[in-house]
Structure 1
Amino acid sequence: MMFFNGPKNEPVLCRAFPTYLDGAALLWFSKLPEGSISSFEDLARSFIDYFAVSRIYVHGSDYLGTIKQGQHESLKDYMTRFADATVEIQDLDPTVHLHTLKAGLRPGKFRETIAITKPKTLEEFRERAAGQMEIEKLREAQKSDKQPHRRDEEKTFRSPGSRDTKRPSKPTSKYNTYTRFNTRRENIIREILNAKIIKPPARAGNYQDQRFVDRTKHYAFHRKFGHTTDDCIVAKDLLERLADQGLLDKYIESRKGKGGKLRQSRAQASSG
């Protein structure tokens, strides 16, 4: 729009640019010293230099080698998670894509099948994966059919004096509101784990019995099923504490309204 109104008109470009800014970017523009900008090139360079640290980190193809199928993760969930990562990588070589996809498979019959058949293209791999996913889907359906009968049998043969084992209660959030990040919480968790800002949990969360959860949803922080990492209360509270400590500023578009008083009041609220 700016170039349409005047591609070679420096004053038009410089005056039109701030009309598309808001939040931290608009605050930055309002504090530019008078007379410090002599051309649109100066304005663009100053803007890029100031906000360079806020750029979202984009992974390279080497990152795909770190993606592994979980011990209890379905092939469908693994391939979906792998596909999400490939979207961030520009000009990804199909050969590298296929190699890392196969290398990330957990040991088992399907990996052995792939090693024997040696699919040479992604299309061939997806065809064989489609058959395996149908098998996994059928197995899950059979398990679901058997579970109600098993529970009825447990109720029938349970001794009168026995007590039902209580399911662990679901944790509650310590915060009323959460910070809005410029990328998914799952990506932030993965990056701060790789950067060793935090350590992986010593033990996976046990507040959800894995027999009664939605196995189509996997949360990488605890390596469990039941919901996504973006919905994991433990992970969300952890990221909120790190944000209050100022360790996640590059993932936050604007710190407006999140000064020391707000951090102090939220810390008091969470302790209460």
Structure 2
Amino acid sequence: MTKGEQALNEREIELQEQMQEVLKKGPRSGQEIQFMTDLAFIDVFRLERLPKGFKMPPIEQYNGKADPVDHLETFKSLMYLQGASDTIMCKAFPSTLKGSARQWFSHLKPLSLSKFIDLGRAFLTNFMSSRIHKTTAANLLAIRQQAREIIREFLTRFNKEALEVRDLDLMVKFQALSSGIRDRKLKESLIMEEPVDMCDLYSRCEKHINLAEVLTVEQERELRIERKGQDRKEPPVSKNKPKENREQREGKRRRDDRAWVSRSDVKPELAYTPLTHRRAYILNEVKDRLTIHWPTKMVKPASEHNKNKYCKFHQDHGHDTEECR
């Protein structure tokens, strides 16, 4: 036997002897083993047992990286639902921690916690840097409807932000939504007849949304029908003649619509003071106050009228009120 083999055998015999000594001594008693999970609590908490039938509610363990307020509020809600006492909440909370959060709790000063509010305050103080910034009432008042954002998308975004504001006053929410709306027609409606409360404001917005969606569908359907009719009527384009683009065709259509205005309504154009409101708005305001001589119907056949345009003065399709001459 070589010297190396002899030394290996001696080491093996030595390890076997050590194992036999450990087995002879037996395991330590529960009093000799120190657990770090409950040293921070006072003796009364450590000695109290869990009530019969108590089950720890399922909750995601906190590792120190997420929002501590969200974790603490979730834990309290679940424990209150089970009617857990302050002592049980203290004993159960360490089981919802892991990683760096678990290490933080194990290093708390022994016998330093006598109630759950002290534990919650220490927890929030230590992990405050991980807290997610919450939306405030000032942030909500700064929200505005964007240029190409429809009112439904704006309401969805506004409600999502409003849910992030804690203890939001309904009057502040009402003012924020009212000032944030930029849709012209809805804004005019809210100014002419102010909503009574938040429920009325939401109801008005919902009616406007439904009306806008219905009109959009109708306009798209009429536009498809009009395009099909134009495709059938348009003669084949000559190879030598350049094809007209869409803007040129729309310009001709507008001139044709104006050409069908009744001759009795045609008057020489004069220089007037520029209007401060749209013609449709002015007509709507004065129609019941003044005696207006309404014009006769336009002579252009109704089948050739542009259904996408309506004149409130002639009360007929063919051109817009703003284009009326």
Classify the TM-score, shorter chain. 0.3 to 0.5
Q: TM-score, normalised by structure 2?
A: 0.39
Greater relative CO, 1 or 2 (CA 8 Å, sep 6+): 1
Q: TM-score, normalised by structure 1?
A: 0.45
- Rg larger in structure: 2
